[in-house]
Amino acid sequence: MNWLILALLGTVFFSIAGVLDKLLLSGYAEDSKAYIVCQVLASQIFTIPVLLIAGADFVYPQSVIAMLFGSLQVFPSFYYMKALQTEEVSKVSALEYIYPVFVFIGSVLLLGEVLELKHCAGGLLLLLGTVLISYKKSGSGCNGLYSDRLHNNGLLSKPSNAISPAIKPFLSYWVLTAAYFIALKVLLVSIDEWNLYIWSSLGGLMAVLPMLLVGSVRSEVTGFFKQGGMAVGALISEETFQFLGIIFFIFAYAIGSVTLVSSVGALQPILTVLLILGLGIITPKLAKSLNESTDWNSLKQKGISFLAVALGIYFVSGG
């Protein structure tokens, strides 16, 4: 199985996890920080079996670095989850996957990868696709009480045309995420894929445990798990797809270029919209709770931006 197939499968799993994140944040979790703590705690359901089956070899300093970057990766999640609470999941996915541009820069400066003109053109198309999908007219992407709530909270501006408010905090997300994936590529030279997953997962756990010392966060986390089987089951389902996405991408990074593997992930917004449209056919009520705009004008806008992203991926992957 080559790196492209692994990256494509990982992107599919991440897309499903993203839709589940939106549903959970809409219906079960009000505090995005507490939700991230719940995610990391639930992810240990997969880390512990991997640890017991594959074992963990402590290799200094690689294992420590993996834990460090696993801890740092928790912080970009705050931006991602906060954005999910204020914006459509397809648009957040598009904003998320601008980080390959920073991976390109880091891979050239730190890993010595050589980028041709078509790679640079692909990076610009990825940027263009992100700006297009972030651009909205008043009332686009949310309406009624949902739109009023965003306006009242200062999360959505009143002018007729605007860039999505979710884009503002994403610079830190892009830089930290790009640094994380470049670090994965470097670490995979000296430790195997399963050890990398274990140590980075434990690093994430170390990052969120201190948050449980905060009374409000601890109360929110406890309240989430007290909501019963539906909430916990949905969280475990989300973490299952998240785990599969991480594993497939780690193995893709092990055998492929960090630039090319990262660029494949930019397909996630397209897959997300397809998933939501499928949900609209199967369970319209559930799809409606995602607050995703599926009117003709919105779909045209997304289609043009996704085309730019697809062309960007084509050029970045070698044309």
| 130-187 tens-digit pLDDT | 667 666 554 444 443 334 444 444 444 444 445 555 566 677 788 888 888 888 888 9
Which of these ranges, 10-14, 66-70, 78-82, has the smallest mean pLDDT? 78-82
Mean pLDDT comparison of 211-220, 286-295, 296-305, highest-scoring range: 211-220
CB hemisphere CA count around 108 (13 angstroms): 10
Token pair 């996405």 is found at: 245
Spatial CA neighbour of 24 closest among 39, 14, 11 = 39
What's the first-to-final CA gap in the chain, in angstroms? 21
Task: Report which secondary-structure segment, H or E, holds 136.
Answer: strand 135-137
Which of these ranges, 40-54, 114-128, 170-184, has the smallest mean pLDDT? 114-128
Are residues 3 and 260 in contact, defined by beta-carbon separation less than 8 angstroms?
yes
Give alpha helix (H) positions in the chain.
3-27, 32-54, 62-72, 74-86, 89-96, 99-110, 117-134, 144-152, 170-187, 193-208, 215-225, 229-255, 258-264, 268-282, 284-288, 296-316
The count of other CB atoms within 10 Å of the CB of residue 13 is: 21
State both tokens at 259: 């630039």
Using CA of residue 34, residue 39, residue 40, residue 41, what is the dihedral sign?
Answer: positive
CB hemisphere CA count around 4 (13 angstroms): 5
